[in-house]
Amino acid sequence: MPAIMQFPAFDLLHWFIDNHAARYNISLSDMLPATFDEVKIKLEDLNIAENFVNGRPELRQLLAGQHGVEPDSVIVTASCSEANLDVCMALLKPGDEAIAVMPNYPPLRDLPKGLGAKVKELMLRTEDDFVLDMKALEKAVTKKTRLVIMTNINNPASSIITKDQLAGIAEMAERKDFHILCDETFRELAFEKRPPTAAQFGDRMVVTNTMSKVYGMGGLKIGWILAKDKALASIKNVTEYNTVCPSGISDRIALAVLKEKDRFIERARSIIKRNRPVVEDWLNRNDRVHWNDPGVGNVAFPKVDADVDRLAAVLLKDYSTIMASGSFFGVKGRFRLGFGRKTEDLVTGLENFDTALKSMA
């Protein structure tokens, strides 16, 4: 075990925070930030003194019902970032192997490295709309593999791991003795095409999620973990040192929102419905940018006929526009396009992209 833990730097986070003064960001992955007015809750409903180990019982029960698991399987955490760290800490030890299904949200590739585990990257089939190759997964697993980490739907490509694939992965995990961390932060944004929660596929599946993206409520800092059996016991051992109790104010607000989940999903759907045609028109007009349309989600991962890292630098410097290069996600020559926020900003951000791209010709 290393004397001091060495977590790789979170470069994507730094790219965003170091350049937060930029006027436009065409790579954000959350939905339009929600306002307090959109949540039917009064200040007097909030109790500044209360909090609950593993989260408010009513919220755990609600989440359990929404995912078809027992309330005891639900642990409410202070964000999905924390949930993912808790799961990796519980299920990996130094020298173990983890497989990160790529492209992926960078911490899901890098967290295990900080814990002394070895990470093998398994690329989704890029030529094939970022589909998971089950045979390649089977081949990548070794005796040392303890965890396979994936996002469903995928961040940044919005591709889907299907119900049949989830069943196949669960069977493989049982046979080869590993767990799966399935981060479902974006799952609901596939709307009627959404895959089932991995929590439905047995004891090897561990699911994480958050209020940050679909609901536009990053400020709540509320996430959750769904786990069973031995994984649940190990994860609780970690969260009881780490989260212990998530904020009682935040999990009360999360409860109010999730009781009306459908209203907030419709909110997200209407924003995407407005912004998607902007993206489609832009792509149809732009022969240097290519998209295998995932058909779902609020992010996409188009290919660009240009040096994308250089383009990102030009966009930032000359157009006050931030774009996250595919390099952050392990794939060069692409970028993450986010279209869950203000339409006018998306339009201007994409115009800036075109002008910057032309200037580089």
Ligand X SMILES: Cc1ncc(COP(=O)(O)O)c(C=O)c1O
> Which residues make up the interface to ligand X (CB under 6 A)?
29, 79-81, 105, 151, 155, 183, 185, 210, 212, 218, 223
Report how far residue 348's alpha carbon sits from residue 51's, in angstroms, rounded to the nearest whole number. Answer: 43
Minimum distance from residue 105 beta carbon to ligand X (Å)? 4
Helices of type H across 243-342? 248-259, 261-285, 308-319
Minimum distance from residue 214 beta carbon to ligand X (Å)? 11
179-183 and 145-151: which strand pairing?
parallel
Minimum distance from residue 183 beta carbon to ligand X (Å)? 5
Amino acid letter, 94: P
- Looking at the Cβ atoms of 319 and 328, the one nearer to ligand X is 328
Q: Which residues pair with 181 in a beta bridge?
A: 149, 206
- Looking at the Cβ atoms of 25 and 29, the one nearer to ligand X is 29
- Looking at the Cβ atoms of 210 and 352, the one nearer to ligand X is 210
CA-based max dimension of the chain: 59
- Looking at the Cβ atoms of 137 and 222, the one nearer to ligand X is 222
Amino acid letter, 4: I
- Looking at the Cβ atoms of 83 and 304, the one nearer to ligand X is 83
Secondary structure (3-state) at 56: coil
Minimum distance from residue 212 beta carbon to ligand X (Å)? 3
Residue 248 tokens read as 């009682």
Minimum distance from residue 338 beta carbon to ligand X (Å)? 10
Secondary structure (3-state) at 256: helix
Cis peptide leading into residue 153 (ω within 30°): yes
